[in-house]
Amino acid sequence: MNSQELAWRIRRHGVEMTHLSKGSHIGAILSVADIVGVLYADILRIDPSSPKKEDRDRFILSKGHAGAAIYAALAERGFFPVQELATHYANGSRLSGHVSHKGVPGVDFSTGSLGHGLSVGVGMALSAKLDRKSYRIYVVIGDGECDEGAVWEASMFAHHHKLDKLTVIVDYNKMQSLTFCEDTLSLNPLDKKFEAFGYNVLNVDGHNHLELKDAFHTPFDNGNPTLILAHTIKGKGVSFMENNILWHYRTPQGDEYEAAVKELEDNSYEGYIC
Amino acid sequence: MHLLTGDLGFGVLKPYWEQLPAQFTNVGIAEQNMTGIAAGMALSGKVVFTYSIGNFSTLRCLEQIRNDCAYHDADVKIVCVGGGFVYGALGMSHHATEDLAIMRALPSVTVLAPADLMEAEAATWAMYKQPGTCYLRLGRGGERRIHDKLTDFRIGKAIKIKEGKSVAIFSTGAIVDEVLESVTLLKDKNIDPAVFTFPTVKPIDEDMIRNCSKEYERIVTVEEHNIIGGFGSAISEVLAEIPTCEKAIQIRIGLNDTYSCIVGSQKYLRNEYGMSAARIATRIVDCY
Q: Helix/strand/coil (H, E, C) string of A156-216?
A: HHHHHCCCCCEEEEEEECCECCCCEHHHHCCCCCHHHHHHHCCCEEEEEECCCHHHHHHHH
Report the mean per-residue pLDDT for chain B: 96
Report the residue of A119, A131, A161 to disrupt the B interface, i.e. the one with the largest count of B CBs within 10 Å: A119
| Residue B250: φ, ψ to 5° | -95, 140
Cα dihedral B93, B98, B103, B104, rounded to 10, equals: 170
CB pairs A-B closer than 8 Å: 90
- Distance (Å, whole) CA A181 – CA A185: 6
CA contacts within 13 A on the Cβ side of B213: 21
A125 DSSP 8-state letter: H
Between A112 and A274, where is the model more confident? A112
**Separation of CA A260 from chain center:** 21
Report the residue of B2, B29, B44 to disrupt the A interface, i.e. the one with the largest count of A CBs within 10 Å: B44
B8, pLDDT greater than 50: yes
Nearest to B41 among A101, A126, A154 (CB): A126
Query: B28 to chain A: which residues are within 8 Å by CB?
Result: 153, 156-157
Element (H, E) at A35: helix A26-38
Nearest chain A residue to B21 by CA distance is A130
**Separation of CA B148 from chain center:** 20
- Distance (Å, whole) CA A136 – CA A228: 15
Element (H, E) at A137: strand A137-142
Cβ proximity of B173 and B222 under 8 Å: no
Q: Which of A46, A65, A62, A257 is nearest to A154 (CA)?
A: A62
B236 interfacial to chain A (CB closer than 8 Å): no
Span A185-202, mean pLDDT? Answer: 98
CA contacts within 13 A on the Cβ side of B234: 29
CA contacts within 13 A on the Cβ side of B74: 34
3-state secondary structure of A90: coil
3-state secondary structure of A59: strand
Contact A131 B68 (CB under 8 A): no
pLDDT for A11 equals 98
DSSP string of chain B?
-EEEESS--TTTTHHHHHH-GGGEEE--S-HHHHHHHHHHHHTTT--EEEEEETTTTTGGGHHIIIIIIITTT--EEEEEE-BBTTTGGG-GGG-B-SHHHHHHTSTT-EEE--SSHHHHHHHHHHHHHS-S-EEEEE--S-PPP--S--S---TT--EEEE--SSEEEEE-GGGHHHHHHHHHHHHTTT---EEEE-SEEES--HHHHHHHHHH-SEEEEEEEEESSSSHHHHHHHHHTTS-GGGPPEEEEEEE-S----S---HHHHHHHTT-SHHHHHHHHHHT-
pLDDT for A94 equals 94
Nearest chain B residue to A118 by CA distance is B36
Taking residue A233's Cβ as centre, other Cβ atoms within 10 Å add up to 18
pLDDT for A15 equals 97
End-to-end CA distance of chain A: 14
- Distance (Å, whole) CA B161 – CA A32: 60
- Distance (Å, whole) CA B285 – CA B288: 6
Contact B37 A130 (CB under 8 A): no
- Distance (Å, whole) CA B85 – CA B174: 10
pLDDT in tens, A56-109: 999 999 999 999 999 999 999 999 999 999 999 999 999 999 999 999 999 999
Q: How would you label A199-229 residue by residue, b for 16+ Cβ within 10 Å and e otherwise?
A: bbbbbbbbbbbebbbebbeeeeeeebbbbbb
Nearest chain A residue to B4 by CA distance is A123
Instruction: Say whether domain A3-271 belongs to CATH 3.40.50.300.
Output: no
Contact A118 B43 (CB under 8 A): no
CA distances from B115 to B120, B121, B196 (A): 7, 10, 11
B25 interfacial to chain A (CB closer than 8 Å): yes
pLDDT in tens, B176-231: 999 999 999 999 999 999 999 999 999 999 999 999 999 999 999 999 999 999 99
**Separation of CA A124 from chain center:** 18
Percentage of residues in chain A having pLDDT higher than 90: 97
A273, pLDDT greater than 50: no
- Distance (Å, whole) CA B243 – CA B245: 6
| Residue A95: φ, ψ to 5° | -95, 85
Report the residue of A127, A136, A137, A162 to disrupt the B interface, i.e. the one with the largest count of B CBs within 10 Å: A127
Nearest chain A residue to B34 by CA distance is A119
pLDDT for A274 equals 43
Cβ proximity of A208 and A233 under 8 Å: no
End-to-end CA distance of chain B: 51
Contact B25 A118 (CB under 8 A): no
A269 DSSP 8-state letter: G
The C-alpha R_g of chain A, in whole angstroms, comes to 17
3-state secondary structure of A227: strand
pLDDT for A272 equals 52
3-state secondary structure of A132: coil
Pair type for strands B2-5 and B48-53: parallel
B133 interfacial to chain A (CB closer than 8 Å): no
Cβ proximity of B267 and B246 under 8 Å: no
pLDDT for A209 equals 97
Maximum CA pair distance of chain A? 54
Span A31-46, mean pLDDT? Answer: 98
Element (H, E) at A16: helix A3-21
pLDDT in tens, B101-157: 999 999 999 999 999 999 999 999 999 999 999 999 999 888 899 999 998 999 999
Pair type for strands A226-231 and A200-205: parallel
- Distance (Å, whole) CA A160 – CA A224: 9
Q: Where are the domains of chain A?
A: 3-271
- Distance (Å, whole) CA B100 – CA B112: 9
Span B260-274, mean pLDDT? Answer: 95
List domains and CATH numbers for chain B.
2-138 (3.40.50.970), 159-286 (3.40.50.920)
Confidence of residue A270 (pLDDT cuts 50, 70, 90): low
A202, pLDDT greater than 50: yes
